[in-house]
């Protein structure tokens, strides 16, 4: 499967990755190879039909378990004010 | 040029569970920020989601209330986007295979109109972003509270069947009422456990093509929903009348100005790259489970209204008032059932005026008199032992945990009507001798003066004489000699 330069630029944008033109070039062939590799799974299509559908998801009862201690949570934040994590201003509207 | 209005709503309902949808963290509104989180809802590496059974049960209950078809198999999917309130970088939702499809909700004002439901799915909530520091101080940064991450939601999407802001309001109110009746959600708009986005477009009435729609995000009150839509429709009409074109975009409503403002254009439409959630196998719902949940469904508000109209011959509007919440509806019905021969209309009148008035004062049902005591009071009126006015006075005293029998209260308050003719005759005679001039006027033909005389007798009796008897005895006396 061929990825165009445009595809790569778009995917990079969605993934918030800043790529140079050289990198975009490089990834367009590399990513194609990765996806081609997955295409091999299509070969198992016939056998897949015989595999029974996955068991249903397991459900748990609505019982409360202990949350993380405040100390641990706050230590995960690179920057904070009071109990809040601080992030650069989100653009609310243009 | 006349326009047709087309509105569709997306409503997010927070389910009434003790814990989050994929982890055992509890959640409540107003908790200290970032104290109700764990590796699962923070999306820390290696943490795995486990589905909350209660959340699924409640979602099924809501779907059944709307008459939606529960899907035998539904699939969780990852909705990918970057935003600071979403620590995992994706939201677990359902996309291609939602929990339920179809269904409808009848409006309250116009019950013949039913708004079709397109789909209903389960998902997790995101965290909360603040753009001001606590205390309303402006900040150059944004603040994140992850407590709400992973709170269980159902999203209900309607078909674009709504044709006015007023109908949109009606839909949301009716849905809200159903959620409270079924105890599936706290459904509080203020606390954010019921949130609504509205899609709206207009098109010339002669055209069958839908216009370009805009989406108004996060409308958190019934009033704002209606106001935002009213403004947005006017704005779109203005754009088209002045020869322009409506742009497909997301807008927000500012309650202070009453206007909507663009947020981001959909041209750069979000590409959420949905894919099946690899950590959760598909959700399979058995018929047995659906049956069991269906058994727990209460009579729904619109069903109650129809039954009240048919069974107790009340008007539809009265039925709407008396079914506004479940406790009230049950109370009213019990009073109607126990009241024996008293005309339904009289009981309904009492309930919708006197009862509701006191309920508004006390604001809590626990202060209401027992059904049996209200029935006794109504019977005292019915048998003429107390006047309607006296009944109102007694009724006021029956609220606030007063378990006293109304008859006892009537005695204590000296409000039982005196029907003893000898006693009344004594008062009548006294009045006749005290007002010779008025008696003469009456006999000369000024018949209206009897009202004045009745008043005097009533005053003498301390308001306790039966006014019908007073009139009867008085006219008999005046006309005889």
User: How many other C-beta atoms are found inside a 10 Å radius of the C-beta of residue B224?
Assistant: 19
Please report, for the domain that includes residue B469, its CATH number.
1.10.10.410
Q: B412, B434, B465: which is the final residue of a domain?
A: B412
User: Is residue B386 domain-shared with residue B466, that is, in the same domain?
Assistant: no
* Residue pair B39/B202 in contact by the 8 Å Cβ criterion: no
Instruction: Give the CATH fold of the A5-48 domain.
Output: Histone, subunit A (1.10.20)
Is B263 in Cβ contact with A76 (below 8 Å)?
A: no
Is A73 in Cβ contact with B35 (below 8 Å)?
A: yes
User: Is residue B41 domain-shared with residue B9, that is, in the same domain?
Assistant: yes
How far from each other are the two terminal CA atoms of chain B, in whole angstroms?
A: 79
Closest CA to B145 of A77, A46, A60: A77
| Residue in the structure block whose two tokens are 């709407």 | B320
User: How many other C-beta atoms are found inside a 10 Å radius of the C-beta of residue A23?
Assistant: 14
Closest CA to B54 of B185, B179, B181: B185
Is A81 in Cβ contact with B25 (below 8 Å)?
A: no
Closest CA to B182 of B280, B269, B294: B294
Q: Which residues in chain A have Cβ-Cβ distances shorter than 8 Å to B263?
A: 92-94
Selected residue of B99, B132, B141 to mutate for chain A interface (largest A Cβ count, 10 A): B141
| Residue in the structure block whose two tokens are 């000369």 | B444
User: Is residue B150 domain-shared with residue B247, that is, in the same domain?
Assistant: yes
User: Is residue B384 domain-shared with residue B440, that is, in the same domain?
Assistant: no
Among B25, B83, B261, beta carbon nearest to A93? B261
Show pLDDT as tens, one digit a residue, over chain B (481 residues). Answer: 789 999 999 999 999 999 999 999 999 999 999 999 999 999 999 999 999 999 999 999 999 999 999 999 999 999 998 889 999 999 999 999 999 999 999 999 999 999 999 999 999 999 999 887 777 777 788 999 999 999 999 999 999 999 999 999 999 999 999 999 999 999 999 999 999 999 999 999 888 888 999 999 999 999 999 999 999 999 999 999 999 999 998 999 999 999 999 986 544 557 898 999 999 999 999 999 999 999 999 999 999 999 999 999 899 999 999 999 999 999 999 999 999 889 999 999 999 999 999 999 999 999 999 999 999 999 999 988 888 888 999 999 999 877 789 999 988 888 888 888 888 888 889 998 899 898 888 888 888 888 899 999 888 888 888 888 889 888 888 887 5
**Which residue range is the domain that position B316 belongs to?**
299-412
Is A89 in Cβ contact with B34 (below 8 Å)?
A: no
User: Is residue B195 domain-shared with residue B280, that is, in the same domain?
Assistant: yes
User: Is residue B396 domain-shared with residue B448, that is, in the same domain?
Assistant: no
B40: which 2 tokens? 């699962």
User: Is residue B50 domain-shared with residue B144, that is, in the same domain?
Assistant: yes
User: Is residue B284 domain-shared with residue B348, that is, in the same domain?
Assistant: no
Is B129 in Cβ contact with A56 (below 8 Å)?
A: no
Q: Which residues in chain B have Cβ-Cβ distances shorter than 8 Å to A67?
A: 25-26, 35-38
Collect all residues with Cβ–Cβ distance below 8 Å to B320 and sequence separation of at least 6: B108, B305
User: Is residue B220 domain-shared with residue B303, that is, in the same domain?
Assistant: no
Q: B392, B412, B432: which is the final residue of a domain?
A: B412
Nearest CA in chain A to B41: A67
Is A85 in Cβ contact with B146 (below 8 Å)?
A: yes
User: Is residue B363 domain-shared with residue B432, that is, in the same domain?
Assistant: no
How many CA atoms does the CB half-sphere of B181 hold within 13 Å? 25
What is the distance in angstroms between the Cα of A18 and the nearest Cα belonging to chain B? 15
Q: B255, B275, B292: which is the final residue of a domain?
A: B292
Is B39 in Cβ contact with A60 (below 8 Å)?
A: no
User: Is residue B252 domain-shared with residue B284, that is, in the same domain?
Assistant: yes
Domain edges within chain A: 5-48
Nearest CA in chain B to A64: B24
Closest CA to B458 of B479, B434, B420, B431: B431
Number of domains in chain B: 3
């Amino acid at each position: 499967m061929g990825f165009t330069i445009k595809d790569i630029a778009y995917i990079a944008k969605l993934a918030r990755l800043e790529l140079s033109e050289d990198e975009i070039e490089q990834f367009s062939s590399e990513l194609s190879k990765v996806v081609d590799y997955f295409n091999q799974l299509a070969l198992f299509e016939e056998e897949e039909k015989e595999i029974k559908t996955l068991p249903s998801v397991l459900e748990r009862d609505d019982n409360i378990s202990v949350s993380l201690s405040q100390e641990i949570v706050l230590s995960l934040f690179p920057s904070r004010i009071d109990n809040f994590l601080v992030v650069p201003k989100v653009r609310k509207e243009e | 040029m006349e326009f047709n209005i087309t509105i569709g709503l997306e409503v997010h309902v927070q389910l009434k569970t003790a814990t989050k949808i994929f982890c055992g963290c509890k959640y409540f509104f107003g908790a200290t920020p970032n104290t109700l989180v764990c590796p699962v809802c923070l999306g820390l590496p290696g943490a795995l989601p486990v589905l909350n059974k209660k959340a699924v049960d409640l979602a099924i209950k809501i779907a059944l209330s709307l008459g939606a078809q529960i899907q035998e198999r539904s699939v969780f999917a990852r909705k990918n986007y970057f935003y600071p309130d979403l620590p995992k970088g994706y939201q677990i939702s359902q996309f291609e295979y939602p929990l339920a499809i179809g269904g409808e909700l009848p409006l309250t004002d116009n019950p013949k109109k039913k708004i079709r439901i397109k789909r209903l799915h389960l998902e997790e909530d995101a965290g909360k972003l603040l753009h001001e520091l606590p205390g309303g101080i402006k900040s150059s940064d944004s603040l994140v509270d992850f407590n709400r991450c992973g709170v269980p939601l159902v999203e209900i999407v309607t078909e674009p069947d709504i044709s006015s802001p007023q109908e949109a309001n009606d839909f949301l109110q009716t849905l809200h009422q159903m959620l409270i009746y079924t105890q599936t959600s706290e459904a509080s708009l203020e606390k954010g456990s019921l949130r609504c986005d509205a899609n709206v477009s207009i098109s010339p009435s002669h055209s069958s093509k839908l216009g370009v729609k805009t989406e108004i995000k996060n409308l958190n009150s019934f009033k704002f929903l209606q106001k935002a839509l009213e403004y947005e429709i006017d704005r779109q009409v203005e754009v088209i009348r002045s020869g322009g074109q409506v742009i497909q975009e997301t807008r927000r409503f500012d309650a202070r100005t009453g206007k909507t403002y663009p947020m981001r254009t959909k041209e750069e439409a979000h590409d959420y790259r949905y894919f099946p959630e690899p950590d959760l196998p598909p959700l399979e719902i058995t018929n047995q489970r659906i049956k069991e949940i269906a058994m727990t469904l209460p009579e729904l508000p619109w069903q109650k209204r129809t039954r009240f109209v048919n069974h107790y011959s009340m008007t539809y509007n009265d039925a709407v008032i008396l079914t506004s919440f479940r406790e009230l509806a049950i109370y009213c019905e019990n009073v109607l059932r126990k009241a024996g021969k008293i005309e339904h209309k009289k009981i309904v009148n009492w309930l919708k005026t006197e009862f509701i008035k006191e309920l508004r004062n006390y604001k809590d049902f626990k202060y209401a008199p027992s059904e049996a005591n209200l029935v006794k009071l109504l019977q005292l009126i019915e048998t003429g032992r107390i006047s309607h006015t006296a009944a109102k006075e007694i009724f006021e005293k029956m609220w606030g945990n007063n378990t006293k029998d109304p008859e006892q209260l009537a005695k204590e308050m000296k409000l039982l009507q005196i029907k003893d003719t000898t006693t009344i005759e004594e008062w009548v005679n006294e009045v006749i001798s005290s007002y010779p001039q008025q008696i003469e006027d009456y006999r000369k033909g000024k018949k209206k003066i009897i009202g004045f005389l009745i008043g005097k007798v009533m005053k003498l009796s301390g308001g306790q004489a039966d006014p019908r008897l007073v009139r009867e005895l008085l006219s008999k006396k005046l006309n005889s000699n």
